[in-house]
Structures are given as C-alpha cells and as structure tokens.
Amino acid sequence: MQLSFLKKPISQHEGMRFPKGFLAFGRNIGIKDDTLDFGVVFSEIPCQAAAVFTRNNYPGSPILVGREHIKSGKAQAIVVNSKNSNVATGERGIEDAKDMCRATAQSLGIEPNLVIPSSTGVIGVPLPMDKIIPACLISKQFLKEANLTEFADAILTTDTKRKVSFYELEHDNRTGVIFGIAKGAGMIEPNMATMLSFIFSDFVPESDNLQAILKRVVDKTYNCLTIDSDTSTSDTVVLLASGQSGTIPEEQFEIGLLEVAKDLTKMIARDGEGATKLIELKVSNAKDEKQAKKIGKSILNSPLVKTAVYGGDPNWGRFVMAVGKVFDELIPYEGLEIFVGGISVKGADTDTKIKLSNYLKTNEFIEICVQLGTGNSEVCLWSCDLTEDYIKENAYYTT
Amino acid sequence: MQLSFLKKPISQHEGMRFPKGFLAFGRNIGIKDDTLDFGVVFSEIPCQAAAVFTRNNYPGSPILVGREHIKSGKAQAIVVNSKNSNVATGERGIEDAKDMCRATAQSLGIEPNLVIPSSTGVIGVPLPMDKIIPACLISKQFLKEANLTEFADAILTTDTKRKVSFYELEHDNRTGVIFGIAKGAGMIEPNMATMLSFIFSDFVPESDNLQAILKRVVDKTYNCLTIDSDTSTSDTVVLLASGQSGTIPEEQFEIGLLEVAKDLTKMIARDGEGATKLIELKVSNAKDEKQAKKIGKSILNSPLVKTAVYGGDPNWGRFVMAVGKVFDELIPYEGLEIFVGGISVKGADTDTKIKLSNYLKTNEFIEICVQLGTGNSEVCLWSCDLTEDYIKENAYYTT
C-alpha cells in the first residue's frame, strides 16, 4: 500500500500508480475564476458501479440524477464541475444535470445514463450552462491516461491540499490499482460543506456485490467522519470498477478499498475548515457499533472537546460530559476509561493534566481511546479541532 | 411585568420588587479568589418546592442529593457555591453535598432535607470543605431581606452580566412576586458550561401541581435554549413558592413563571460564551412540538448557521441544509418558508441577500421564523451566534 497526501499543485506523477483504462482531465472553463472548475473521468470499458449519496433530505439535482443512473449498476464516466453546486435550483436544476450527462455522453460516444454528474460550489444559483454544455461536448479531446490527479485538482474548492490515495492489488499474477480521489469539507461559497469522493479500479470483485462492498466500507470510513456536525446536500461517493485487469476475490478487493477510503477520510478530517489537528477516536468495549458511533460522534461534535484539543486544554471533564449527554445510552461511570495519547485522563491529577496538555499542544495527530465497558464492539472515527479560522472562514461573505 | 438585564456589580435595587419572606446573601469565602463564591436563600416559612435537573447521565453530586431532598415537595433554603462544581468526585462528593445541607440547616434551625444544594465550577476536584462548612454554619447572620441580587451575583462564573427577572402578580387585592435568578453558560474552569436557575415566589398556586407547572414552563423556556449543543452535568432549575402572600389560580401563577423563565432564558442565550447576538427562532406549522423542536435545535446547533449570523453572511442555503439534515423528519421543500428579520430568504436574489446581510450585521437581536408546512404546532427557541471569542474562551487552559 502506498498512501499519498500531496500539496497541490503537483506536476509530477512519479511513484503514483493508476488503474488501467481510466482517462481523465481537469480544466478551467471560467465558471467563476481561472482555477480548475471542470473535469471528466472516462473508462474505456463500461464499469460495474456503486454509489452512496447524502442523507440530507434536500439533495442537490446531480444527486437526484445520479441516483437514477446508478440503478443499473453500470457507469462509464463521471462529469464534475466546481464553483456551483446545482442545489436548490428546482426542476431546471434537474434538467441541467441531465443535459450535462447527455452532452458528455455525446462526446464520449456512450449512453447518457452511463454518466454520473456531480457539482459542488455556490447553492441556489442555476448552472452556467452556456459554459458547461460546450465543455461537455468537447470532453473527449482532453482525456489523458494517468491523469486522475488533474481531475482531483478540478473538484477542489477551499481544500488546502489535493486528496488522492491508491492501493495496488495482486491476484493470479495480475496487478491492479484502486485509486481514490476526494474533496473535503473546505467551505464553498456560499459555504456549504461538501464531501465528494470518486474511486476507480481496474479489478472487479468476483462477487456481484459492488454496492454492498461500498456501503460496508463507507460505514467504516466516510460515515465515521465529522467536521462540524453539518451534513451537506451534495455528499457523494462513487466507485467504478472496470475489470480491465480481471477479477479478484471480494475480500481482497474490500481490503484495498477500505484502505483507500480510510486514507481519504483522514485527509478530509485533517483538512477540515480551519483545522490544525487530525483527531482519531477509537470507541471500544461498546455494547454494539451503533452505541459506539453515537457516543463517538457526541465526543467529536462537542465544541468543548474540539476547542480543548485545539488549545491544549487538559479538561478531561469535557470528554465525560460528552459521553454523559447521550441520554439514551447509559454508560456506567465506573467502567468508563478515557485515554488521550495513551494517557489515562479520568480523574487526572495536576501532573497528568500537564502531560495531557503537553501531548495536545505538541501533536498534530491526536489519538483518543474511549472504553465504554458495556460490551465488545469497536469503531474508529475521525475529526479535527475547532479553531478561530473555522469561524473566520464561515462568518464572512465573500463574492 | 418588569424585565431587567443589569450589568454587575449593581449597587441599587430601586425599582426591583422581591417576594416577601425570602432572605438571602452572597459572599466571598475564598474558594478560588476574592469574588463572591457562596450564597444562601432562606424562606421564613417552608415552601412548596419543585425542581428540574440535568439529563446528563453523569450528574454532579449536588444533583443527586437535590433529587432526594426535592422528593418531599418541600424546601426552605438553597445553598450554593461557585468555583467548584463537585462533579466526578465520587462518594466523597455526595457526602460533601449532604454536609453542606446539614451545616446550613443547623445554622438556619431547619431540617437538612429542606435544603437544596448546588455547586458550579471546576470539576473533578473535591470541595474545599474547610472553607465551606464554617461558612454554612454561620449562614444565618448574613441573611438580609431584599437581597436576592447579591445571591444572584454569587452564583455567576464567567457570565458577563447578572441575570435576574421578576413578575408582579395581583389576586384578591393581594400582591406577590415571582423572582428568578440564573447563571448562564459562561464557561467555568475548567470550562464545563452550566446553567443554574432559582425562582422564588410568595404566592403559591391554588392547585398542588408545582412540579407539573415547573416542568411545563421549563419545556417552553430553558429546554428551548442551546448555546453549543453540550449538556452540563450540573444544570438545575429550582422553584420555591412560600405562599406567604397567599394562593393564586394556577393559570395566573404559570403565566408569571413563564415570563420570568423566558426572560432568564433569553439572558442566558445572549450571554453565551463569546456571543454578540441573541437569536430567537420560531418554528411554526410543524406536525407536532417534537418535530418543531428537533428541526429548531438542528438549526440553532449548526455552526454554519451560527457563524453566518455572527458575520452577516447571507447564506440562506445553510438554513435549508440544517432543516434537511434531520434525516427522520422529512419536510417537503416546497412548503418550507424561512424568514430572517421578516425577510423571506429561500431562493434569495442578490438584492435580498444584501438586505439579509444588512439585517444580520446591524441587529443584536436576530429573529428567525421557519414554517415547516407540515401542521399547526409551534415552538420558540433561543441561542446565540458563534464567534472567535467562543474558541478563545474554551481553547486555552487558565489556572
């Protein structure tokens, strides 16, 4: 496995491995400024496809169209624009998302329902179709091999870093690659956090369970991520598996997919708005995974926990409070254990508080373990600290 | 009705009305520094008493003792210290809270179980009983009439303002007063937000329903308040009604109590950590009150909504997102209406966005109305904006 967390812009692809047969590009078509704002990924052959979309009750138009298109379990291309999310744009927005698929499909010579659309950016403003449709119609000429990183750059908004990760697989003397891309919860004008992630593979699992595999992996990764408790209307994870390098046992495929997704999830957490630290929280000895996740999210969404991590405040009582405020999950206090950076903090004396404060102040990667003492289940969750820069990024209107 | 929202310290009580027969004081006993940190309220006659405590699963020791003492429905005194919350202090903490009651009762010549204890401040540190018990034992000599404001000052922690409110009632040519006191969600060292409120009345309702009345009022006021989604381990509301001015119909009593509680709730919201604005949110046309409250809290706990209010960012999409992220309450988008300062913001054009931004920037009291279009229920909720000062107050350890 190789993980990458590279600064953008990047000009070299040395050391990076790409899945065979996936062509891509990112370019500027002038939606807002002169940065990359449009991209397409195209697989030479139709792929098995699976997707997980936002649970927000007001999904964006591309989500509505994407849900339709993914139903067949097949897809061959993805078309994305940034700077405009096509959310809260009504019937017209849905037509626009469909037109993006049609125009892209026409250029690529495939059926429109094999294209998954995605948009991220300002909400409530119709897409500038005068710029988007011509760009879709000439997609084909820009496609290049080994170019998924350029596409990864085109979907970024206020992320400070490109987010890509890949995993090489070997089976029966054949090699393949699972390659993932994400954009994080950097705020987008006018500031609705959105997470997009696209994952491509030239292997397909031998089983026919792509959607089930993706769902399991999403539950352990993206769904264990919280930046600020808000849920975007555009969150999307799409997986395309071409099989151009053949098939692979489901278990092996899932391990690779999990690594890539976990890696991208951590990158998104670390690059949350204003974040200075990545928090990894393991909740263990829980009654079940549901209980562990509920308690974990209560801790990671607590502004008091997040500000303590930011400033190095050794207030272990905040962790206790965050566990205790989940009214419907009674965790006996005696059995509760809390470790921060390996330091047991419940009932900490002055010396321990100094150690805890030092740990928080001197580390960018903060490990927290909470043992509930109610069973044997365990989950891992990720978040970031809460800083003045989060407030600044989100308080002021910028046009 | 007269409302007050006075800066502390205050030296004059002109214009303020107090319920008859309630003696009180606040003083410094050196728990941490030289500010007021200890107070007692004593009613000349035993009172009907009711209380509502935190739902946090790890309540402080005074809560455990208070729950026992309130069971009789009678109380005659309240003893409070600030600077130390007596939370997470185990068996010893419970004995300490009981000892506070015993020593205070001894001085006042009443039974210990007629005393309700309360503590707010640092957690995980045993109470300094060498200072507290002697202070309890000489309580009687400090008691003064018309002195509830001094007591109100003694329970403050990092609140920037004293919080008192009163309501005069008249019935059968008799007058009485409901007088309420609160401390807010100013952070306390080491920074666990706590809300305490004590309400005193010389009228008693004719019915015997004090607890039911208090519960109904708390549900419409304190339970409609959110500062940062965190729930303290010490939240307490206590109501003592002496009847020294006689009885009054339940409805009339409840109206007065509601006004006082609502007034204190708004003061707490406005004085939230780092707050610059008070937000009043009315959620109407809801299926039921539960739905209205759930959607309302989702809006008021959204950091994106709170930072937009702070900075005057006219991002109406954040309100839509916050309604939509309550997955299990599907509100049809067409029927949803959102007004901020009377401005309809859903689908706002540029002109409307400018108006919205101006409204947010130029007002300290922000009125938001959200109509769900799913029924006829309505609730009102309060919160404050989220600012850099919240982060600063909670990120850094101060001893």
Residues of B in contact with A314 (CB under 8 A): 190, 397
- Extract the runs of DSSP E, i.e. beta strands, from A56-151: 74-84, 115-122, 144-145
3-class SS of residue A395? helix
Give me the pLDDT at residue B79, please: 97
Contact B195, B232 (CB under 8 A): yes
CB contact under 8 A, B55 and A327: yes
Disruptive mutation site among B302, B389, B397 for chain A (greatest number of A CBs within 10 Å): B397
Q: Cβ B304–A230 below 8 Å, yes or no?
A: yes
Structure tokens at B92: 């010893």
A160-164, A395-399, B345-349: range with lowest mean pLDDT: A395-399
B365 CB within 8 Å of a chain A CB: no
| C-beta separation of B242 from B143 below 8 A | no
Residue A371: predicted pLDDT = 97
Choose among A57, A88, A357: nearest Cβ to B397.
Answer: A357
SS3 A66: helix
pLDDT of residue B231: 64
Secondary structure (H, E, C), A148-181: HHHHHHHCCCCCCCCEEEEEEEEECCEEEEEEEE
Q: Which segment of A53-57, A140-144, A256-260, A339-343 scores lowest on mean pLDDT?
A: A53-57
Encode pLDDT of A198-216 as tens digits.
899 999 999 989 999 999 9
Q: How close is the nearest chain B Cα to the Cα of A47, in Å?
A: 31
Q: Are A66 and A53 in contact (CB under 8 A)?
A: yes
Q: Please name the CATH architecture into which domain A278-395 falls.
A: Roll (3.10)
Query: What are the extents of the domains in chain B?
Result: 22-270, 278-395
Does A314 lie at the interface with B, CB-CB under 8 angstroms? Answer: yes
Tell me what pLDDT residue A14 has. Answer: 54
- In B, minimum Cα distance to A322 occurs at B230
Looking at the complex, does the CB of residue B391 fall below 8 Å from at least one CB of chain A?
yes
Across the interface, of A192, A322, A388, the residue whose CB is closest to B391 is A388
Q: Per the CB < 8 Å rule, is B192 touching A396?
A: no
Contacts of B397 in chain A (CB under 8 A): 311-315, 357
What pLDDT digit, counting tens, does each position of A175-194 carry? Answer: 999 999 988 765 433 334 56
A394–chain B Cβ distance below 8 A for any pair: yes
A321 in reach of chain B (CB within 8 A): yes
Smallest CA–CA distance from A325 into chain B, residue: B56
From chain B residues 163-182, the ones with a CB under 8 A of any chain A CB are none
pLDDT for the residue numbered B122: 78
- Enter the pTM of the model: 0.81
Q: Cβ B231–A321 below 8 Å, yes or no? A: yes
Report the residue of chain B nearest A311, measured CA to CA.
B395
- Residue A52 pairs in a beta bridge with A237
Residues 238-297 of chain B with CB under 8 A from chain A are: none
Nearest by Cα to A223 from A372, A58, A55, A110: A55
pLDDT (tens digit per residue) in A292-323: 999 998 899 888 899 999 999 888 888 988 89
* Number of cross-chain residue pairs from A and B with Cβ atoms under 8 Å apart: 202
Give residues 6 to 25 of A whose Cβ lies within 8 Å of B.
none
From B298, which residue of chain A is nearest by alpha-carbon distance?
A: A230
Rounded Cα–Cα distance for residues B292 and B398 (Å):
39
Per-residue model confidence (pLDDT) at position A272: 82
Residue of chain A whose alpha carbon sits nearest to that of B191: A315
Quick check: A57 and B324 CB within 8 A?
A: yes
Whether pLDDT at A170 is above 60:
yes
Sign of CA dihedral B361, B230, A363, A290: negative
Mean pLDDT of chain A: 88
- CA dist B387 and B275 (Å) reads 7
Q: Residue A135: which residues within 8 A CB-CB, separation 6 or more?
A: A27, A29, A38
3-state secondary structure (DSSP) of residue A23: strand
The answer to whether B321 contacts A348, with C-beta atoms less than 8 Å apart, is: no
Which residues of A are identified as catalytic? 194
User: Could you tell me if B344 lies within 8 Å of chain A, comparing CB atoms?
Assistant: no
* pLDDT tens-place string over residues A67-81: 999 999 999 999 999
- The CA angle B202-B207-B209, to the nearest 5 degrees, is 90
Task: Report pLDDT for A195.
Answer: 77
Cβ-Cβ contacts under 8 Å, A319 against chain B: none
Q: Work out the minimum CA distance from B255 to partner chain A, whole angstroms.
A: 30
pLDDT per residue rounded down to tens, chain B (399 residues): 333 333 223 333 457 899 999 999 999 999 999 999 999 999 999 999 999 888 777 888 999 999 999 999 999 999 999 988 898 888 999 999 999 999 999 999 999 999 999 998 877 889 999 999 999 999 999 999 999 999 999 998 778 889 899 999 999 999 999 999 988 764 433 334 567 888 999 999 999 899 999 999 988 888 887 766 666 677 788 999 999 999 999 999 999 999 999 999 898 888 888 889 999 999 999 999 999 999 998 899 888 899 999 999 888 888 988 898 888 899 999 999 999 999 999 988 889 999 999 999 999 999 999 999 999 999 999 999 989 888 887 777 544
Chain B residue whose CA is closest to A55: B327
Name the E strands within chain A. 22-27, 38-53, 74-84, 115-122, 144-145, 163-171, 174-183, 196-201, 204-205, 236-241, 247-248, 278-286, 337-340, 343-344, 365-371, 377-384
CATH topology of domain A22-270: L-amino peptidase D-ALA esterase/amidase (3.60.70)
Candidates A58, A232, A329; nearest CB to B333: A58
Q: Indicate yes or no: CB of B387 within 8 angstroms of CB of A391.
A: yes
The arrangement of strands across the sheet holding A278-286 comes to A343-344, A337-340, A365-371, A278-286, A377-384
- Which of A57, A87, A396 faces B331 most closely, judged by CB atoms? A57
Contact A311 B397 (CB under 8 A): yes
CA distance A8 to A28: 16
Which residues of chain A lie closer than 8 angstroms to B391, CB-CB?
307, 310-311, 386-388, 390-391
Instruction: Find the residue in A nearest to B86 (Cα).
Output: A317
- The percentage of chain A sitting over the pLDDT mark of 90, rounded to a whole number, equals 64
Q: Name the strand (E) or helix (H) holding A270.
A: helix A250-270
Q: Which residues of B touch A231 (CB under 8 A)?
A: 321, 324-325
CA A35 to CA A153: how far, in whole Å?
A: 9
